[in-house]
Amino acid sequence: MSIALDLDHASHPARASAPARRSLVGLSKPKLREALAGIGLDEREAKMRASQLWNWVYFHGVTDFERMTNIQKGVRQTLADHFLLDRPEIVSEQVSIDGTRKWLFRFRDPQNPRLPPVEIETVYIPEEDRGTLCVSSQVGCTLTCSFCHTGTQTLVRNLTAGEILGQILMARERLGDFPAGQRPADGGLVPSGETRAITNIVMMGMGEPLYNYDSVKDALLIAQAEDGISLSKRRITLSTSGVVPQIEPAGREIGVMLAISLHAVRDDLRDMLVPINRKYPLKALIQACRDYPGLSNARRITFEYVMLRDINDSDADARELVRLLSGIPAKINLIPFNPWPGTNYDCSSSARIEKFADIVNRAGYASPVRTPRGRDIFAACGQLKSETERLRKKDREALAGV
């Protein structure tokens, strides 16, 4: 059974009538100080207020300047006159029979609130030992991997760092992860041995994170910062379909765990399944993986491999996979294909997946088969999509007043 809640839209602060105020969510500390200096705070005060704001926004989860009790009333008012601490609007929240939650979030364009809002999906997957939030980086995707539902949605736009963080902050609030927060009534969400529901973040929602590099980088650095959300970079994974030139910078500048959507071990097949392969073929991709900064047995790369019946699931494919990855500290994640309306693919049989996993295991690789989660609410890998469509250029310009 799944339930869908329709939550109150009216209370959202980022309404079209407040276009002049700028959001502070997603600004790095130096940019936050700059924004505060821009409204007349001197250097010393800007620095102090930036630290206080950071703590209120990311640690306490506060969205209203009035609640920032260690900031004088007059300053709180000035901040509220100039800035927003906005969050996405929740269009719907669905809970799967297996406890997976999916939110449809709505954002307005921060640059131009007159443009129609965009919608994206974010998923929370509770497990025994961890709670993973699957975060989106783009509305739609420019890439067209043939087995992926998101790939059928043309890219509408990149999300900003604030919108990427907004998903995390809103999920933390709904799951009761802030210090003064309320856990959901169904409870039982905090994994054993942990203090909060969200222990891990994966950039595996809608979009290709390395095609929105700057915003993803800003957001993930903020998610790691100690006096805020404070998630270790080992608990954050960025998944890419293989944007080779951005892989090294991601390791060096963001430092999170890397996952590669491999899905095929021969160029001819990968060209069809993951078309970015035509631009960055397997040889270049595998070399970028070998060169990934910080790679070691303790920090392995995860290779995702979707199991498609009679397409990429033979014993020969499994053996070639092992050969291709030899020498790379790797985990292989076998993902049973999740169907979506209109797809021509089928999932491999359980027996086939087991045989494939066995070959990979015998070669010394951990190869867990990812249990599909939230299929009943269309929250599983590759099933995410929203209704937002790209406007025609003419309409966009008219709305933007160009």
Residue 256 lies near ligand SAH (rule: CB under 6 A): no
C-alpha 401/C-alpha 399 separation (Å) is: 5
Residue 148 lies near ligand SF4 (rule: CB under 6 A): yes
Q: What stretch of H or E contains 240?
A: strand 236-240
C-alpha 373/C-alpha 121 separation (Å) is: 15
Residue 241 lies near ligand SF4 (rule: CB under 6 A): yes
Closest to ligand SAH by CB, 56 vs 337, is 337
Considering only 141, 202, 257, 289, the residue that binds ligand SF4 (CB under 6 A) is 141
Q: Which residues pair with 90 in a beta bridge?
A: 105
Closest CA to 244 of 204, 217, 208, 219: 208
Per partner kind, with CB cut-offs from 5 to 8 A, the member of ligand SAH, ligand SF4, none near residue 242 is none
Q: What are the Cα distances from residue 122, in Å, to 206, 363, 398?
A: 8, 35, 31
The distance in angstroms from the start CA to the end CA of the chain is 47
Per partner kind, with CB cut-offs from 5 to 8 A, the member of ligand SF4, ligand SAH, none near residue 121 is none
Closest to ligand SAH by CB, 61 vs 207, is 207
Stretch that binds ligand SAH, among 12-20, 45-53, 184-192, 334-342 (CB under 6 A): 334-342
Catalytic residue among 119, 121, 163, 304: 121
C-alpha 143/C-alpha 153 separation (Å) is: 9
Considering only 53, 71, 90, 143, the residue that binds ligand SF4 (CB under 6 A) is 143
Closest to ligand SF4 by CB, 56 vs 105, is 105
Size of the site for ligand SAH (CB under 6 A): 16
- Angle between helix 350-362 and helix 315-324 axes, rounded to 10 deg: 30
Residue 239 lies near ligand SAH (rule: CB under 6 A): yes
Q: What are the Cα distances from residue 312, in Å, to 273, 306, 347, 350, 383?
A: 10, 8, 11, 14, 20
- The answer for residues whose C-beta is within 8 angstroms of residue 37's C-beta and 6 or more apart is 43, 46
Q: Report, in Å, the least distance between residue 233 CB and ligand SAH.
A: 18
Considering only 96, 167, 241, 388, the residue that binds ligand SAH (CB under 6 A) is 241
- The answer for residues whose C-beta is within 8 angstroms of residue 364's C-beta and 6 or more apart is none
Stretch that binds ligand SF4, among 25-33, 73-81, 137-145, 283-291 (CB under 6 A): 137-145
Residue 150 lies near ligand SF4 (rule: CB under 6 A): yes
Residue 236 lies near ligand SF4 (rule: CB under 6 A): no
Q: Which residues pair with 200 in a beta bridge?
A: 132
Closest to ligand SF4 by CB, 135 vs 175, is 135
Per partner kind, with CB cut-offs from 5 to 8 A, the member of ligand SAH, ligand SF4, none near residue 100 is none
Stretch that binds ligand SF4, among 105-113, 115-123, 148-156, 333-341 (CB under 6 A): 148-156
**249-254-259 Cα angle (round to 5):** 80
Closest to ligand SF4 by CB, 91 vs 139, is 139
Cβ count near 329 (within 10 Å):
16
Query: Are the C-beta atoms of 388 and 152 separated by less than 8 Å?
Result: no
Phi, psi of 260 (to 5 degrees): -115, 130
Catalytic residue among 145, 289, 347, 381: 381
Can you tell me whether residue 233 is helix, strand or coil? helix
Considering only 89, 208, 218, 304, the residue that binds ligand SF4 (CB under 6 A) is 208
Residue 35 lies near ligand SF4 (rule: CB under 6 A): no
Residue 237 lies near ligand SF4 (rule: CB under 6 A): no
| 381 annotated active-site | yes
Can you tell me whether residue 132 is helix, strand or coil? strand
Catalytic residue list: 121, 381
Residues that bind ligand SF4 (CB under 6 A): 141, 143-145, 148, 150-151, 207-208, 241, 261
